[in-house]
Amino acid sequence: MPRKFLKRIMPDHKTMCEHPHLKKFGQRLTEPKLWHLNRRSVAGGLALGLFIGFMPILGQMVIAAAIAIFLRVNLPISVMAVWISNPLTIAPMYFFVYKVGARILQLPVEQHDFTLSWEWFTSEFLTIWQPFLLGSLVCGLIAALLGVLATRLVWRAVVIRNWLKRQKKNKTKS
């Protein structure tokens, strides 16, 4: 099932344990639940990674790894899912979450010229931080929920399909 596909795309357990940022977690990385591929663990890891991916914080991968270890969900999936926010998607994503937060707070969506400077941060960002953070939280929660639902539905559909294939194969043998 999806387990075979995930094993192919996931990094090796030993490689991840030797990663400089993950070495900080020491013996906690030997917990089998962090590496096990079942629908609950994968769905939890995906939800965690998607949620953290929408948060405007630095070190998203390390934070996702720490929380995955604490919650005992699939570590590689949670770290990989964080990459929903990458250099190509971060700007449209954050503009979208700002618009969502502004709509929830019933504020007008304003066009802000972005320049990477302290002056911009102290003047412009201070006017948009509330809708931006609220939108990040709401979109992160929705993405996490959709990730769990999609994972569980796809996993179940593939398992049922494989089960039906085996039944059909066994009937033809008889």
Q: Is 26 helix (H, G, I), strand (E, B) or coil?
A: helix
Of 7, 8, 22, 36, nearest to 66 by C-alpha is: 22
Q: Where are the alpha helices (DSSP H) in the chain?
A: 2-9, 13-17, 39-54, 60-71, 75-81, 90-104, 118-120, 126-173
- Which residues, including other chains, have CB under 8 Å from residue 83's CB and lie 6 or more apart? 53
Tell me: the pLDDT tens digits for 56-73?
A: 999 999 999 999 999 999
Give the residue-averaged pLDDT of 40-59.
Answer: 94
Segment 120-136 mean pLDDT: 84
CA 108 to mean position of chain CA atoms: 29
What is the value of pTM for the model shown?
A: 0.80
Using alpha carbons only, give the angle 74, 75, 81 rounded to the nearest 5 degrees: 90
Tens digit of each residue's pLDDT (9 = 90 or more) over 74-97: 988 999 999 999 989 988 998 899
Q: What is the mean pLDDT of residues 105-124?
A: 76
Task: Decide if pLDDT at 53 tops 80.
Answer: yes
Distances (CA, A) of 155 to 74, 148, 151: 15, 10, 6
120, 114 Cβ separation under 8 angstroms = yes
